[in-house]
Amino acid sequence: MKTWPMWVAGTIALAAVFHILTIFGLPYGIMDRAMAGIASQAGGVNKPAYPDRATAASRGIVRPGPDLLYTACAYDVSKQPVKITSPVPDTYWSLSAFAANTDNFFVVNDRQVKSGRVEIVLAADENTKTEKGIPLVITPSTRGIILFRSLVTSEESLAEIDAMRRQSNCEPL
């Protein structure tokens, strides 16, 4: 009796299990590590971290750009919503929200913000009450990352853009 069909079937089954674990588990592991690093730098969740400007050695953010200043916030809306606020500089600027599985579920940039300041409330429940006029963004997971990016157009503008990004905030309601 030949045993090779059993070995082939076992190998295929094992490969399928590892494939499924990688596809569904790895993104959560990546985000857990990233959220822990951001929370450590910020002094906890729902607090902003203002990392130094990216260099060739920087790897806190995947593929960081040296022409961008980043602000990051590891959020947790499991107990209460989080209010996200930031001034919008007169350069390229964006706010991206990522779920616990690395999915990017919300983005707004400087061209979409007309008031010079962005305010949103991030929540797990669509019945969350917000202040009048503040948009409610429903997150697909209770934990994740908010990432702000600001373009530094010249070395002369660095200090001004850095001061503005340090006014970006995420805090529990």
Residue 147 lies in a domain: yes
Nearest Cα neighbor of 172 from 48, 88, 40, 41 is 48
β-pair partners for 146: 73, 97
Q: What is the count of structural domains for the chain?
A: 1
For 97-115, write each residue's pLDDT tens digit.
999 999 999 999 999 998 8
83: CATH: 2.60.40.1610
Query: Rounded mean pLDDT of 44-71?
Result: 82
Residue 2 lies in a domain: no
At 61, is the pLDDT very low, low, confident or very high (cuts 50, 70, 90)?
A: low
Residue 98 lies in a domain: yes
Q: What is the pTM of this model?
A: 0.85
Burial of 91 (0-12, 13-18, 19+ CB in 10 A): middle
